[in-house]
Homo-oligomer: A and B are copies of this chain.
Amino acid sequence: MTTEQLVAQIHKKKSFLCIGLDVDLTKIPKHLLETEDPIFEFNKAIIDATHHLCVAYKPNIAFYEAYGIDGWKSLKKTIDYLNKNHPEIFTIADAKRGDIGNTSSMYAKAFFEDLAFDSVTIAPYMGKDSVEPFLAFPNKHTILLALTSNQGAFDFQTKKLENQELYKQVIETSKTYENSENLMYVVGATKASYFKEIRKIIPNSFLLVPGVGAQGGSLQEVCKYGLSSNIGLLINSSRGIIYASNAKDFAEVAAQKATDLKNEMQEFL
């Protein structure tokens, strides 16, 4: 998917909501556990109830790997369902991968070809040759971890690397990578004041923003400093939407929560 298609979808739906599909079998409604593939059935119900409210879905791959081969099958069914029924929706494999060149190529093949995601999240620690193999895929997007939403972000990311914070160095340096036009960035909503600084370096790049809601970030603040001329934001909510209810009406309640967030977004569009 091209960035233009993503932006067109945002304007059409009046939403830049991304829904995280982080399925934990201990948290989903009990009646689904009797089905053959509870993870997929849960995702399908959430997708059916919310696809008109969001522009992106983001399965966090850890939640699938934790269930081994069965989890991997559920992931494949989920992305296939999305690509078949909602090809206009942007898909994000939240995998946080990154390895030396030839190995990163294998990960890129896994997520862009075998699973056919539009994008994948990548950790920058190993530098240029760990990122460029992902960037080589046309119309696929590489979402680099810049400033994450967790407490551990302060261990290294906000410290100064040769007089500039590491996360800024990551963003600056990544702009020199080949095919850097395929880059997006993860920037946690819990650090809204940093958005202003980040927009000085990358005025137009799309930012995937976790941490609104459950982790305490403010949509208002993020939009104030983070919106760009082409919107440039994907606001992710996972637990706040998909686990809003664990009764039989979970999908409708999820849709209600997604609607609330979407409505909040409208005033910024």
Contact = CB atoms under 8 A, between A and B. Distances in A.
Interface of A: 22, 24, 60, 62-63, 65-69, 72-73, 76, 94, 96-101, 103-104, 106-107, 109-110, 114-115, 123-131, 145, 148-157, 159-162, 166, 169-170, 173
A67 to B, nearest CB: 7
Contact of A69 (B66, B73, B150): B73
B65 A110 contact: yes
A149 to B, nearest CB: 7
B129 A156 contact: no
Contacts of A103: 22, 60, 62-63
Contacts of A151: 127-129
B76 A114 contact: no
Contact of A155 (B65, B72, B104, B173): B173
Nearest to A174: B155
Contacts of A159: 161-162, 169
Q: Give the one of A106, A126, A129, A154 with max B CB within 10 A.
A: A126
A67 B110 CA distance: 7
Given A156-B173, A157-B127, A173-B155, A150 B68 contact: no
B100 A67 contact: no
A156 B124 contact: yes
B68 A69 contact: no
Nearest to A68: B114
